[in-house]
Amino acid sequence: MKIIDVKATPVYVEMEAPLLWSMGVEHGTTRTIIQLFTDEGIVGLGETYGGAEMVRRIEEARPLFIGLDPFELQSMVQHFEVFKVTSEQMARAAEMKFVSAGIEMAIWDILGNALNKPLYKLLGGANSTFVPFVAYVFYRYEKNGIGGETTPDDIVRRYGELVERCGFEGVKLKGGVFPPEEEWRAVRGLRETFGDDLKYLRFDPNQAWSTETSIRYINRMEQFDLEYVEDPTWDLHGLSLVREDVRIPIATNQAVISLPQIAPAVRLRAIDVLLLDMYFWGGISQAKKVAAICETFNLGVAIHSDRDLGIGTAAALHFWASTPTMSHSYDTHYHDQVGDVITEPFVFKNGGLCVPEGPGLGVTLDEDRLAYHAKQYLEHGDDVEFFDPKQRPGWVPHLPLF
């Protein structure tokens, strides 16, 4: 069997209400859907970041995977590793990681379909095929009568809605938007309102705080029994200064995104939990490697999700279930997104999702939905979540914000 062609389609999917974060606002998500064709008629599905620029990068990368036998998957992974070798590749390095992740995802889908096995079995099997999630709660602008959460009471109410709808037993609050005192009150409100029923409470100010603000407010949050605080301040040195003076575990998805950054993170004792983003790391194979390194150094592991659609979500579910060292539940934007490109979008039950049992990723592309969201992309373009030109014209984010 040989890979003979690839088709990449940029799509745009709206959020039900705009999501606020430290650096701007997310109105929707731009993703690229990959269809990888073989000479035996099997078509593999993949997903990755980006729009038209990502399509150009995929076309540029065709020599790295066209003509390969899908069972030579590691050869494809190695072909992409050239982009981490030298600073001369900086212009392409990040985007080629995203390309590699999407292409590898599609190859795994091909292999699963060829062998009539779900991906998690190709990755070694799973102790459980139920993947637990926590709610992902943002401050939001109002849109068509939905959203508008700006106060601690609003945040408490929003989490309650998601518990009722999805059965979650935990929450990650996205902060870095309002002054720390206001967001501290939101964390307090969640703990006081839901008590022990809130098993997992996370907070993520997205690097917006200075080291001194981080130390002061994380120590004040200790009474609320947080699972971890994610990226309170920026870079490994800043995180190490914070970690030295707080007892709540520190997690990151922003300060450690490449293999050379793991060793200094360990030496500096900067983090307790590494949040794996399959796209940042270059795909499932590389993420598996990182999970093994984390096991060696006793770092917790979880998945970072940044507006994955159904294809990417399916891949992450297979990864989570087949990686026994996963130590924290999954959080995702999925419950905030309006639309998908698969025939049977995921529905949360009992606070989680089941890994698809069909061959490969176990999801099917809906051509009509793909066409609709491709048209939405032509109308919206790439969703640039940095800045906030409509609501805060002239506002420019900077670090630290507080």
**Average pLDDT, 10 consecutive residues per value, the chain (402 residues):** 98 98 96 98 97 95 97 94 70 88 98 98 97 98 97 98 98 98 98 98 98 98 98 97 98 94 97 96 96 97 95 98 97 97 98 98 98 97 89 89 95
Output the pLDDT for position 305.
87
User: Which DSSP helix (H) or strand (E) runs through 122?
Assistant: helix 119-122
Distance (Å, rounded) from C-alpha 304 to C-alpha 306? 7
Q: What does the pLDDT look like over 32-81, one tens digit per residue?
A: 999 999 999 999 999 999 999 999 999 999 999 999 999 999 999 999 98
Q: What domains sit in the chain, N to C, each tagged with a CATH number? A: 3-116+367-378 (3.30.390.10), 120-354 (3.20.20.120)
Ordered alpha helix ranges (H), 195-309: 211-221, 236-245, 262-268, 278-281, 284-296
Give the end-to-end CA distance of the chain in Å, rounded to a whole number: 56
**pLDDT score recorded for residue 194:** 98
Gyration radius of the chain over CA positions? 20
How confident is the model at residue 88, as a pLDDT? 64
Taking every pair of Cα atoms in the chain, the longest distance, rounded to a whole number of angstroms, is 60
Output the pLDDT for position 83.
Answer: 78
Identify the pLDDT of residue 390.
85
Q: Can you tell me the distance from the alpha carbon of 318 to that of 333, in angstroms, rounded to the nearest whole number?
A: 18
- pLDDT, residue 90, reads 72
| Positions marked active-site | 174, 304
User: Taking each helix axis from N to C terminus, what angle separates 90-115 and 52-60, rounded to the nearest 10 degrees?
Assistant: 80
For 30, residues 6+ apart whose C-beta sits below 8 A from its C-beta are: 10, 11, 12, 49, 50, 51, 377, 380, 381, 382, 383
